[in-house]
């Protein structure tokens, strides 16, 4: 007879042979060595059944050390006494009770545990043998104090989910608190949805006071801490970008001399490389140096292939090396009459916010309806919209939208001229302080002057001897230079 267990700890069992009768085979003899009594402290419990409040499943099988180069087995993972087992069609519940006797553990077997066991093991730790049997039957265990409960993995997982759900419900039942946060840079209305989705519990609410740009947040204490940290991350001053635009009207000859020769097929010395950092267009040669030597070299500031002359817009885009002194070149050209600087506006904007520059006039259009005269105005202007985005490498991505609307009075109908429009939208990447240039906007002017002798100019045949026609044909190109500068704070 076994001695009576005390305080939930199995009493020591004498060394003996354990005989388990299989239902459909001869009795199999399980030889076990001396079984020591388990110590009351947890440190002596095998690592496989270390006490824990969490649901545990047997760890997945590991391949031999030879299958894992550079890896070795961790000694002592299984610390049970070696046993030899030979079960053929044995009842699973009976086998688990056998392990309870071998180990001296207090074991509770879930009623859902059913099945049979076929296993033959020689001199393996008992906890390793139990681990193999549990994994083979998709079973897990839960340690509660000194009691080990064995049940199907699915049942243990369902219990853990229910326990976690109950814990969450208890947490949500806590006292609600209020956090008031006045924002300095971000818009309170823009942060409300983000906080509701990312930081608050289902009980949490966010109210906005637009007058003071303040958030009023109601939620549990731990969720308020999360919301406060998120606000501190987002409510920061955004860097600013100063955008300088030079709108220049140049003669075609000067544009060619200056280097804005769109569609030129030359190339610079390949050893110079791309020094502008321009990401688009990426199939041009960028320069800005005078006297570059090499095949096809030019002294152009910008030398890029453009779209075909028959294209709808015909705008071209390039970049100017920061070493090229644009202001000096434009000032010198203006003094000779080759260039007319229309305007040089500057505007500052924060990161990722659009800046708009408009240069032009409004054309009055008069309409008469029901004896009522109505005058409306239509814009005939050059509109430039730039949205800068500062990158971590101190470059600026600029989304550029350009629209040039010009009134054509030569084709006016009832005094109302049509508006010719050119539009381009693109995106470029330039370094801080570099200049990108947009060209390809052409304007042509044709003036006809007639000088003749009064009276004789109407006589056929001989009128050509007494008159002179002067035809002045001029054309110019509109160039827009855009330079972003990051404002260091």
Q: How much is the pLDDT for 175?
A: 85
Cis peptide before 141 (omega within 30 of 0): no
Contact (Cβ atoms closer than 8 angstroms) between residue 216 and residue 191 = no
DSSP 146: T
d(CA 434, CA 219) in angstroms, rounded, equals 49
Q: What is the side-by-side strand order in the sheet with 214-219? A: 177-182, 214-219, 205-209
Strands 106-109 and 147-152: parallel
Helix, strand, or coil here: 176?
Answer: coil
DSSP assignments along 29-90, one per residue = EEEB--BPPPPSSGGGS-GGG---SSEE-PPPPPPPGGGSTT----TTS--SPEEEEEEEEE
d(CA 58, CA 132) in angstroms, rounded, equals 8
Task: Give the angle 224-225-228 at the CA atoms, nearest 5°.
Answer: 85
Query: 302: closest CA among 255, 252, 269, 243?
Result: 255
d(CA 348, CA 325) in angstroms, rounded, equals 22
Q: How much is the pLDDT for 32?
A: 35
Count CB-CB contacts under 10 A for residue 113. 16
Domains and CATH numbers, the chain: 17-63+79-166 (3.55.50.30), 177-234 (3.30.1370.120), 242-487 (no CATH)
Count CB-CB contacts under 10 A for residue 330. 21
Task: Give the angle 207-209-213 at the CA atoms, nearest 5°.
Answer: 115
Helix, strand, or coil here: 361?
Answer: strand
Helix, strand, or coil here: 163?
Answer: helix
d(CA 230, CA 11) in angstroms, rounded, equals 57
d(CA 14, CA 1) in angstroms, rounded, equals 10
The position carrying tokens 């299958």 is 67
Query: 8: closest CA among 51, 44, 35, 38?
Result: 38
Q: Has this prediction a pTM greater than 0.75?
A: no
Cα–Cα separations (whole angstroms), residue 138 to 132, 164, 454: 10, 22, 116
- pLDDT per position in the chain (489 positions), as tens? 444 333 333 333 333 333 333 333 333 333 333 333 344 343 344 545 544 333 444 444 444 443 343 333 344 578 888 989 888 899 999 999 999 888 888 999 999 999 999 989 999 998 899 989 999 999 998 888 888 999 999 999 998 888 888 877 776 777 889 999 999 999 999 899 999 988 898 888 999 999 999 999 999 888 899 999 999 999 988 889 998 888 787 765 555 444 443 333 333 333 333 334 444 443 333 333 333 333 333 333 443 333 333 333 344 445 555 444 555 566 656 555 666 667 778 888 999 999 998 888 888 888 778 888 888 888 888 888 999 999 988 899 999 888 888 888 777 887 788 888 878 788 889 888 888 887 777 766 655 666 666 766 677 766 666 666 666 666 777 778 888 999 876
Helix (H) or strand (E) holding 245: strand 240-251
Q: What is the separation, in whole angstroms, between the first and last Cα of the chain?
A: 87
Count CB-CB contacts under 10 A for residue 469. 10
d(CA 85, CA 20) in angstroms, rounded, equals 10
- The pair of three-digit structure tokens given for residue 1, joined into one six-digit string: 């007879």
Q: How much is the pLDDT for 113?
A: 92
- The pair of three-digit structure tokens given for residue 289, joined into one six-digit string: 């140096």
Helix (H) or strand (E) holding 142: strand 139-144
Query: 48: closest CA among 171, 180, 150?
Result: 150
d(CA 103, CA 80) in angstroms, rounded, equals 8
- The pair of three-digit structure tokens given for residue 189, joined into one six-digit string: 């209305």
Q: Where are the beta strands (DSSP E) in 282-418?
A: 285-286, 302-303, 316-320, 339-343, 346-350, 355-369, 372-390, 395-407
DSSP 321: -
d(CA 466, CA 472) in angstroms, rounded, equals 20
């Amino acid at each position: 007879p076994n001695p009576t267990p005390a305080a939930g700890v199995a009493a020591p069992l004498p060394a003996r042979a354990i005989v388990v009768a299989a239902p459909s085979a001869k009795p199999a003899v399980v030889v076990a060595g001396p079984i020591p009594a388990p110590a009351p402290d947890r440190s002596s419990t095998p690592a496989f059944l270390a006490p824990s409040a969490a649901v545990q499943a047997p760890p997945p099988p590991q391949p031999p050390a030879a299958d894992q180069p550079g890896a070795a087995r961790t000694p002592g993972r299984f610390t049970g006494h070696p046993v030899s087992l030979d079960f053929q069609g044995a009842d699973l519940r009976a086998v688990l009770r056998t392990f309870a006797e071998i180990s001296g553990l207090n074991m509770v077997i879930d009623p859902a545990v059913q099945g049979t066991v076929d296993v033959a093991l020689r001199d393996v730790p008992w906890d390793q043998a139990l681990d193999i049997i549990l994994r083979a039957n998709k079973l897990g265990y839960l340690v509660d104090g000194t009691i080990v409960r064995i049940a199907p993995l699915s049942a243990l997982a369902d219990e853990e989910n229910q326990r976690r759900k109950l814990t969450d419900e208890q947490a949500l039942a806590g006292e609600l608190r209020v956090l008031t946060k006045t924002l300095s840079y971000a818009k309170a209305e823009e942060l409300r949805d983000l906080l509701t989705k990312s930081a608050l519990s289902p009980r949490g609410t966010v109210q906005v006071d637009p007058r003071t740009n303040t958030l009023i947040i109601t939620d549990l204490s731990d969720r308020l801490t999360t919301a406060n940290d998120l606000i501190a991350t987002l409510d920061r001053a955004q860097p600013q970008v100063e955008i300088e635009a030079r709108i220049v009207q140049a003669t075609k000859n000067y544009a060619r001399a200056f280097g804005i020769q769109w569609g030129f097929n030359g190339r610079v010395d390949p050893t110079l490389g791309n020094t502008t950092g321009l990401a688009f267009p990426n199939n041009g040669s960028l320069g800005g140096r005078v006297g570059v030597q090499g095949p096809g070299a030019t002294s152009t500031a910008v030398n890029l292939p453009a779209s075909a002359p028959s294209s709808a817009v015909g705008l071209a885009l390039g970049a100017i090396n920061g070493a090229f002194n644009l202001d000096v070149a434009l000032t010198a050209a203006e003094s000779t009459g080759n260039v007319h600087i229309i305007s040089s506006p500057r505007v500052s904007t924060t990161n990722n916010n659009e800046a708009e520059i408009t240069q032009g006039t409004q054309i009055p259009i008069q309409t008469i309806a029901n004896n009522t005269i109505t005058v409306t105005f239509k814009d005939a202007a050059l509109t430039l919209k730039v949205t800068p985005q500062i990158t971590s490498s101190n470059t600026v991505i600029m989304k550029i939208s350009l629209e040039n609307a010009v009134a054509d009075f030569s084709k006016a109908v009832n005094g109302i001229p049509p508006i010719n429009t050119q539009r381009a939208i693109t995106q470029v990447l330039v370094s801080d302080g570099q200049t990108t240039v947009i060209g390809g906007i052409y304007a042509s002017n044709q003036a006809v002057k007639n000088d003749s002798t009064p009276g004789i100019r109407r006589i056929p045949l001989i009128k050509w001897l007494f008159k002179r026609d002067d035809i002045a044909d001029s054309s110019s190109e509109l160039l827009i230079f855009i330079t972003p500068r990051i404002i260091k704070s």
